[in-house]
Amino acid sequence: MNPYRIVLFDLDGTRSAKTDIIRYILDQYPHFEKSDFIMIGDRKHDIIGAINTGIHSIGVTYGYGSLEEIAAAKPTYRVRSVEELTDKWMSPVS
C-alpha cells in the first residue's frame, strides 16, 4: 500500500500565489501534520510557497525552472529526474 496521497487542485483563479494554494490544501487536511506534506515543484514559486507555509519541498530540475533557479530557492531536497524522484520518495518502505 502506498503511504502517499497526491493532492492536486484545479485552480479557478481565486488563489494564484503558491503560498495561498498550499495554505488552502493544508486547511483541507487538518488531521495531518505539516510534516506529512511535501511540495514537489519545478519553479522557485513552488519552493517559496513551501517555505512560507512551513512544509518541506523537493525542487525538480527537469521541469520549467533551471537548476540555478531551483538551487537559489533552497528546497529541502533536489532531484534531477523523475526516476530519482520515484526511487527516493515513492519506493515502498520495507
pLDDT tens profile 32-79: 999 999 999 999 999 999 999 999 999 999 989 899 999 999 999 999
pLDDT, position 91: 60
Residue 77 in grid coordinates: 531536497
What does DSSP assign to residue 46?
A: H
The pTM for the full model equals: 0.83
